Copies of this chain bind each other. A is one copy, B any other.
Amino acid sequence: MINTDINLVSMGQRAKQAARKLAAAPTDLKNRALVAIADALDSQRESILAENALDLADGKQNGLSEALLDRLNLQKRLDGIIADVRKVATLPDPVGEVIESRTLPNDLKLSRRRTPIGVFGVIYEARPNVTVDVAALTVKSGNTAILRGGKETLRSNTALVNVIREAVASVGLPADAIQYIESTDRAYVGELLKLYEYVDIIIPRGGAGLHKFCRENSTIPVITGGVGICHLYVEPTADFDKALDIIHNAKTHRPSVCNALDTVLVHESIAAEFLPRVVEHLGNDGVTFKAEPRAIEYVRDYDSVKAAGPDDFSTEWMALICGLKVVDTLDEAIDHIEANSLGHSDGILTQDADSAARFLNEVNSSAVFWNASTRFNDGGQFGLGAELAVSTQKLHVRGPMALEGMTTYKWVVEGTGQVRS
């Protein structure tokens, strides 16, 4: 059932109107909406999965890859999705928090209070689980959202959003808290990016191309992220066994995500010993390597090692591929990272606290690590609960964008007749 009568301005107006209701909603009411969403997804799973099966059948017919079909498949994911919604209901509500307060010399009482941002525009790919994740986080943080998912999931998303809207309305909050652009026409993405009057923030969840498109076409502030070229630099004092475990984990634990390792930098004084161990340890799990000329000297006998090409250190691999490079100094390592990292997750493996302090201070990424895997840059791992995105831009939020990152603040000034002199 495709909606052929889409009016984005009207959607924007309704989202903005609903946002006032959500902003004023007490925590308990928002939590009841989340429980209602979870219950409704559970009780209406048959009809949701029927629509999902139609998307899957089309996907197969259109030759989608197994990986894409797997992402699209709700059958084995719905229980986890429902559990996640229930979990968001248990997280603390950031709205209303007093960030700071003080009394000014003229007796004005000044406080800074956390408030919702307003209307989110979220653009994502063929992952129907994102639809539910975003809806739950949006409602909990007192915001509203206009969603636009991948074209391969239109029926799944429409079914999910209908269930969510009904559930939200069932507790007395506006159904328009969550709206979905029910069309595969990409022109609506461009239109959404210009809805400056109604939409407060754009979250693109996808590849570098989508981010670039949003950055270049949006008149609304955009939070970009979810793309990383991640580095680990190994110093001579590193505990080699632990360093190998960390490199192995960062590269192989989930190679297709943004906090996965892309490049290992090794100090020249340990390259002869350490590089072959990296290649052997990770090679067992199918990792292949792209080594620059100085690194390849030490590992040229391994079939899994190839000479790095000119762009190989500025590539996010998203696969079991790892760059290898030898450096002479900590400065050279930091310079390489600053030149090639996209500011996501970078780390140093060392027992030297001074080197670590310099690295942590000077490498300007959303998260910097000392003797730990880059895979920890994640809202759940950081104890922030679920995340809407992982930001690599410097304004508003860096790293995991969880509930707090979905809020802003306002200044509240309480007086007794004060005027400015």
Contact = CB atoms under 8 A, between A and B. Distances in A.
Interface of A: 20, 23-24, 102, 104, 108, 110, 115, 117-118, 196, 200-201, 215-216, 219, 221-223, 239, 242, 245-246, 248-250, 253, 338, 347, 356, 360-362, 364-373, 375-377, 381-383, 393-396, 398-399, 408-420
B410 A367 contact: yes
Contacts of A408: 394-395, 398
Q: How many copies does the complex hold?
A: 2
A413 B200 contact: no
Given A221-B395, A411-B399, A412-B360, A419 B366 contact: no
Contacts of A117: 394-395
A201 B396 CA distance: 11
Contact of A371 (B223, B356, B415): B415
A253 B249 CA distance: 62
A24 B395 contact: no
Given A395-B396, A419-B245, A413 B369 contact: yes
Contacts of A366: 410-411
A412 B368 contact: yes
A29 to B, nearest CB: 15
A303 to B, nearest CB: 27
Pick from A201, A249, A364, A399 the residue with the most CB of B within 10 Å: A364
A410 B118 contact: no
A97 to B, nearest CB: 13
A373 B410 contact: no
Nearest to A349: B417
B221 A375 contact: no
Nearest to A361: B24
22 contacts: A20-B362, A24-B361, A102-B383, A104-B381, A104-B382, A201-B394, A201-B395, A221-B221, A221-B222, A242-B417, A245-B419, A246-B417, A368-B412, A369-B415, A370-B412, A371-B416, A372-B416, A372-B419, A373-B420, A381-B420, A396-B396, A398-B408
